[in-house]
Amino acid sequence: MTGTPFAGQVALVTGASRGIGAATAEALAAAGAHVVLTGRDTKALEGIEERIFAAGGHATIAPVDLTEPDGIARLATAVAQRWPALDILVLNAAILPQLTAVTDLDQRAFNKALTTNVLATQALLANFDPLLRKSADPRVIGLTSTVATAPRAYWGAYAASKAAFEVLLDCYAQETRNISKLRVAIVNPGPTRTAMRARAYPGEDPASLKPPEAVAARLLALLSEDFASGYRETVNQSR
């Protein structure tokens, strides 16, 4: 590793088994953080963990389904039993339901998206807030989408869930701003070469999009900056 600015820090990344989550986890580990990798795909998480180990980094996998009622609470308890504080929380996990008209939404799929993208976000903040406050420099980054503030036809389910996601993070930033060191940022990665993007835009040329590593590099830089809580940013298209 060429530099370890996050040495001694503990970071938890949700949705760390692939895409932006995996790239961010690997970048944080390369910069010295011990990264807790969460996601539903245990085998994929093990693959990311192995790559981190091979690069000289440190990581721990913590498979969890964010839709399980007690999964997040158990995860927070396990992390608290091993580490005295959590320095970085990256809220990356999200579900993209089928793109369809509002009147044709499948209630079960919509509910799953709301549970993962919204209810799980609140549960993660509630359960990890005590550990974050024990850090000397706690930071939370939430990955959002353009449709949260610029909704489009047939994107109603995902846009609604991401809009609620942003509101939760905005409120949390305001509630903690003057009484703690905690800082919250909302980052829109923009068009990125991920499996989710491919499902949404099957005819798009992946080579025209920036890779997840470009987003991870920007998140790593942001985490090193003295940003104000409630900060927002869209990652540019550089590849």
Number of domains in the chain: 1
Phi, then psi, of 91 in degrees rounded to 5? -90, 95
CATH classification of the domain holding 75 = 3.40.50.720
Tell me if 3 is assigned to some domain: no
The CA-CA-CA angle for residues 53, 56, 57, to 5°, reads 65
Tell me if 28 is assigned to some domain: yes
Tell me if 210 is assigned to some domain: yes
Tell me if 224 is assigned to some domain: yes
Q: Bridge-partner residues for 184, per DSSP?
A: 140
Domain that holds residue 80: 10-234
Our measurement of the distance from residue 189's CA atom to the centroid of its chain's CA atoms, rounded to an integer in Å, reads: 11
CA distance linking residue 75 with residue 232, whole number of Å: 28
Q: Are 114 and 158 in contact (CB under 8 A)?
A: no
Residues known to be catalytic: 158
**Global pTM value:** 0.96
Mean pLDDT by runs of 10 across the 239 residues of the chain is 85 98 98 97 98 98 93 97 98 97 97 97 98 98 98 98 98 97 98 96 95 98 97 82
Tell me if 106 is assigned to some domain: yes
The pLDDT score that the predictor gives to residue 204 is: 96
Tell me if 70 is assigned to some domain: yes
CA distance linking residue 40 with residue 63, whole number of Å: 5
Tell me if 2 is assigned to some domain: no
Would you state the structure tokens that stand for residue 202, as one six-digit string? 């099957």
The pLDDT score that the predictor gives to residue 117 is: 98
The pLDDT score that the predictor gives to residue 236 is: 85
